[in-house]
Amino acid sequence: MRGRLLLREEGGRGVALGTSKPSVALVYPNAYEVGMANFGFQQVFRLLNDLGLRTERAFYDGTPVLSLESGLPLGAFEIVAFSLPFEGD
């Protein structure tokens, strides 16, 4: 539910399920607000989508990690990628 509210707020959109491209969960190891302020995270998300991969964002803030776009757990994705900043947030 929170993911849908955040998507509506940022003007984002969900993803089409059932595509033939691999699914990717791009995880940022902090809260949504911190991850979305990270330009590198946004660029990797855009690049993966531009390549045609079904990419969803997830944020680890101490709560169970579910994708923002569809609310799926990380185990539902074929690829789980992490964006790790070189300095602590």
Which of residues 75 and 18 earns the better pLDDT score? 75
Q: According to the model, what pLDDT value does residue 86 have?
A: 75
DSSP string of 15-74, one letter each residue: --TT-SSPEEEEEESS-HHHHHT-HHHHHHHHHHHHTT-EEEEEE-SSS--BBTTT--BG
Average pLDDT over residues 47-52: 94
* Mean predicted confidence (pLDDT) in 65-87: 94
pLDDT at 3 (0 to 100)? 54
Domain boundaries, the chain: 1-9+30-89
Q: Identify the pLDDT of residue 24.
A: 98
State the chain's mean pLDDT as an integer: 85
pTM for the structure as a whole: 0.78
Confidence of residue 18 (pLDDT cuts 50, 70, 90): low
Of all residues in the chain, the percent with pLDDT exceeding 70 is: 75
